[in-house]
């Protein structure tokens, strides 16, 4: 189940310490201008070091397009892209081999497969999102041709909303305590035409929820007024319509740009919650693979907050879904 999408299909592969991470984008229309530069600029946004407080681990992450592009344009054939992992000779992952880190998928993965690549989390590592960003960069090229833009930003970190300086401070504080913080990312899709999304199980909202909840560390999603809708009256939640210069205009957007799971032509607005990074250097109680109680301190250069780095990943997943639905919408 490493493929997402019905017509614009993305398959990802790769472990954090294997030879390479990558993806195959199948179903991208032919004739779209695409270069490694387009991909690289998105990848660079995901890199650590975007904030002074994020992890200082150097990842060069240079994309290589293996197929699907000829003379600068997409061929309509599968676009395979990889990023080679750097050799990590100095890394010491042996000590994580037999212990289940709290908050991580070590235990569930071991239970499911009876075997896992324990080096840096293997496929469950956040590094897996490199492939999502590469695929998202292709999707964004399709969206750009339709004048659709996706903008995400961290609206809340560690309980602080609004002020970037305070957000940075709360991350810094968590770091100094050997702890971590989470937050909220808002994603806004601008310029999507009305009519995207399919009934009943192909609702745009359902597909966006699937795609965004699949991002590691995301524990919830809401559209428009979201969880606040639980406390509203119908007369408050419903968005009235009126005509303006021959066009239907909504007076507000509590629906988040989606009615019946289909886009209304307004901004599509959603928020996801990102849990605090699981890797913390504070001691935690846990168990070993062979069933002994133990304590663990996850050392190494871990992000005390991954919210800023999830921003381009969230955009990518939203872009993949919208690209897919643009294609699906051609044959209604």
Residues 13-32 that bind a second copy (CB under 8 A): 13-15, 18-22, 24, 26-27, 29-31
Contact residue for a second copy among 42, 156, 311, 319 (CB under 8 A):
156
| Smallest separation, CB 225 to a second copy (Å) | 7
Contact residue for a second copy among 35, 40, 238, 253 (CB under 8 A):
238
Query: CB-based burial of residue 44 (10 Å sphere; 0-12 exposed, 13-18 middle, 19+ buried)?
Result: middle
Rounded to whole angstroms, the Cα distance separating 26 from 3 reads 10
| Smallest separation, CB 250 to a second copy (Å) | 9
Residue 224 interacts with a second copy (CB under 8 A)? yes
What is the number of other CB atoms lying within 10 angstroms of the CB of residue 188? 18
Residue 162 interacts with a second copy (CB under 8 A)? no
Task: Give the CA distances from residue 18 to residues 69, 87, 319, in Å, rounded to whole numbers and listed in that order.
Answer: 25, 9, 27
| Smallest separation, CB 217 to a second copy (Å) | 9
| Smallest separation, CB 185 to a second copy (Å) | 10
| Smallest separation, CB 62 to a second copy (Å) | 14
Residue 167 interacts with a second copy (CB under 8 A)? no
Rounded to whole angstroms, the Cα distance separating 76 from 69 reads 8
Contact residue for a second copy among 197, 268, 309, 318 (CB under 8 A):
197
- The H or E element spanning position 182 is none
Using CB under 8 A as the binding rule, the residues of this chain from 69 to 88 that contact a second copy are 70, 73, 75-80, 82
The piece of 37-45, 49-57, 90-98, 223-231 that touches a second copy (CB under 8 A) is 223-231
Nearer to a second copy, 87 or 285 (CB): 285
Nearer to a second copy, 26 or 42 (CB): 26
| Smallest separation, CB 74 to a second copy (Å) | 9
Q: Taking a C-beta distance cutoff of 8 angstroms, is the pair 257, 154 a contact?
A: no
Residue 189 interacts with a second copy (CB under 8 A)? no
The piece of 49-57, 90-98, 144-152, 222-230 that touches a second copy (CB under 8 A) is 222-230
| Smallest separation, CB 148 to a second copy (Å) | 16
Using CB under 8 A as the binding rule, the residues of this chain from 86 to 145 that contact a second copy are 100, 102-105, 107-109, 111-117, 122-124, 128
Q: Taking a C-beta distance cutoff of 8 angstroms, is the pair 153, 311 a contact?
A: yes
Residue 327 interacts with a second copy (CB under 8 A)? yes
- Listing DSSP states for 6-27 in one string gives SSSEEEEE--TTSSEEEEEEES
Residue 291 interacts with a second copy (CB under 8 A)? yes
Using CB under 8 A as the binding rule, the residues of this chain from 249 to 268 that contact a second copy are 251, 255-256, 258-265
- Listing DSSP states for 274-314 in one string gives EPPPS--SS-EEEEBTTS-EEEE---SS--S--HHHHHHHH
Query: CB-based burial of residue 157 (10 Å sphere; 0-12 exposed, 13-18 middle, 19+ buried)?
Result: buried
Q: 3-state class of 160 per DSSP?
A: strand
Q: 3-state class of 152 per DSSP?
A: strand
Q: Taking a C-beta distance cutoff of 8 angstroms, is the pair 8, 327 a contact?
A: yes
| Smallest separation, CB 209 to a second copy (Å) | 4
For 274-283, letters b (16+ CB in 10 Å) and e give bbbbbbbbee
Per rule CB under 8 A, count of chain residues that contact a second copy: 144
């Amino acid at each position: 189940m490493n493929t997402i999408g019905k017509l614009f299909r993305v398959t990802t592969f790769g472990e954090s310490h294997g030879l390479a991470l990558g993806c195959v984008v199948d179903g991208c229309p032919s004739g779209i201008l695409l270069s490694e530069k387009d991909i690289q600029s998105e990848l660079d946004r995901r890199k650590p070091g975007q904030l002074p407080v994020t992890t200082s681990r150097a990842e060069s992450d240079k994309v290589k397009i293996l197929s699907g592009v000829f003379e600068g344009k997409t061929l309509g054939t599968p676009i395979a892209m990889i990023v080679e992992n750097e050799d990590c000779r100095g890394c010491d992952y042996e000590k994580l081999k037999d212990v289940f880190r709290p908050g991580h998928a070590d235990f569930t993965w071991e239970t499911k497969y009876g075997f896992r690549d324990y080096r840096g989390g293997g496929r469950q590592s956040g590094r897996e999102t490199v492939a999502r960003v590469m695929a998202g960069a292709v999707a964004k090229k399709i969206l750009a041709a339709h004048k659709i833009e996706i903008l995400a930003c961290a609206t809340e970190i560690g309980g602080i909303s609004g002020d970037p300086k305070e957000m940075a401070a709360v991350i810094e504080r968590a770091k100094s305590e050997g702890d971590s913080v989470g937050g909220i990312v808002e994603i806004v899709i601008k310029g999507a035409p009305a009519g995207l999304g399919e009934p009943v199980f192909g609702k745009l909202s359902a597909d966006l929820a699937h795609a965004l909840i699949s991002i590691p560390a995301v524990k919830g999603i809401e559209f428009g007024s979201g969880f606040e809708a639980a406390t509203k009256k119908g007369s408050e939640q419903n968005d009235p319509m009126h005509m303006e210069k021959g066009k239907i205009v909504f007076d507000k957007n509590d629906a988040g740009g989606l009615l019946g799971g289909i886009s209304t032509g307004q901004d599509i607005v959603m928020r996801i919650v990102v849990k605090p990074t699981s890797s913390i250097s504070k001691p935690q109680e846990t168990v070993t693979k062979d069933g002994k109680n133990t304590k663990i301190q996850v050392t190494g250069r871990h992000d005390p907050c991954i919210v800023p780095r999830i921003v381009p990943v969230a955009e990518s997943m939203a872009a993949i879904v919208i690209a897919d639905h643009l294609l699906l919408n051609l044959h209604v």
